[in-house]
Amino acid sequence: MTTILCIRSWLAGYRDAIFLLLSLGWVNCVGAEAGIDHRPNILLILADDLGYSDIGSYGSEISTPNLDQLANNGLRFSSFYTTASCAPTRAMLLTGVDSHRAGVANISEALTPEQAHSPFYRGTLNHNVITIATLLKDAGYNTAMSGKWHLGYADPSLLPINRGFKQTVTMPFSGGDNWTQQSYVPHYEKTLWLENGKEISVPEGFYSSEFIVDKAIQQLKNNQENHAGKRKPFFSYVSFQAVHIPVQAPKEFTEKYIGTYKEGWHALRKNRQNAVKDLGLIPASAPMKRMATTDDWDKLSEEEKRYNDKRMAVYAGMVDAMDHHIGRLIQYLKESGQYDNTVIIFTSDNGPAASELPLLWIKALGYNRDYETLGERYSYGTIGASFGSAVASPLGHYKFHSGEGGIRVPLIISGPQVADSNRGRISHSRAFVKDLAPTILALAGTHHPGTQYKGKAIEASTGKNLLPVIAAKTDSVYTDEDVIAYEIGGNAALIKGDYKITLNRGGTNDGRWHLYNIIKDPGETEPLETVETTAFFDLLAEYESYARENGVIPVPKNYHQPVQILRNGLKARFKNSISSPTGLLIISILGTMIILLMARKLTGQSP
The helix/strand/coil state of 410 is: strand
Give the count of alpha carbons within 13 A of 418, CB side only: 27
- For 418-460, the three-class secondary structure string (H helix, E strand, C coil) is CCHHHCCEEEEEEEEHHHHHHHHHHHCCCCCCCCEECCEECCC
Cβ atoms within 10 Å of 584's Cβ, excluding its own: 16
- Could you say which of 6, 29, 86, 187 is catalytic? 86
Q: Which residues contact 116 (CB under 8 A, 6 or more apart)?
A: 122, 123
| φ and ψ of 167, to 5 deg | -130, 130
d(CA 359, CA 385): 16
| φ and ψ of 574, to 5 deg | -105, 5
Closest by CA to 354, choosing from 212, 507, 491, is 507
For helices 15-23 and 436-443, angle between their N-to-C axes, nearest 10 degrees: 120
- Could you say which of 6, 29, 100, 150 is catalytic? 150
Q: What are the Cα distances from residue 282, in Å, to 229, 409, 495, 534?
A: 48, 13, 17, 26
Active site residue 29: no
* Alpha helices for 4-141 (secondary structure H): 15-23, 65-73, 86-95, 113-116, 132-138
Closest by CA to 167, choosing from 221, 108, 114, 209, is 221
d(CA 482, CA 478): 6
| Cis peptide bond prior to 246, omega within 30° of 0 | yes
**Single-letter amino acid, residue 601:** K
Closest by CA to 92, choosing from 459, 522, 344, is 459
d(CA 245, CA 185): 10
Q: What are the Cα distances from residue 377, in Å, to 205, 209, 246, 249, 459?
A: 11, 14, 10, 9, 43
Cα 353 to its chain centre, rounded Å, is 12
* Alpha helices for 192-301 (secondary structure H): 208-226, 251-255, 265-279
Do 339 and 72 meet the contact criterion of CB atoms below 8 Å apart?
no
The helix/strand/coil state of 239 is: strand
Active site residue 150: yes
Strand 193-195, strand 483-488: pairing: unpaired
- To which H or E segment does residue 47 belong? strand 41-47
Cβ atoms within 10 Å of 526's Cβ, excluding its own: 14
Do 94 and 353 meet the contact criterion of CB atoms below 8 Å apart?
no
- To which H or E segment does residue 313 belong? helix 302-335
- To which H or E segment does residue 406 belong? helix 404-407
Which positions are catalytic?
86, 150
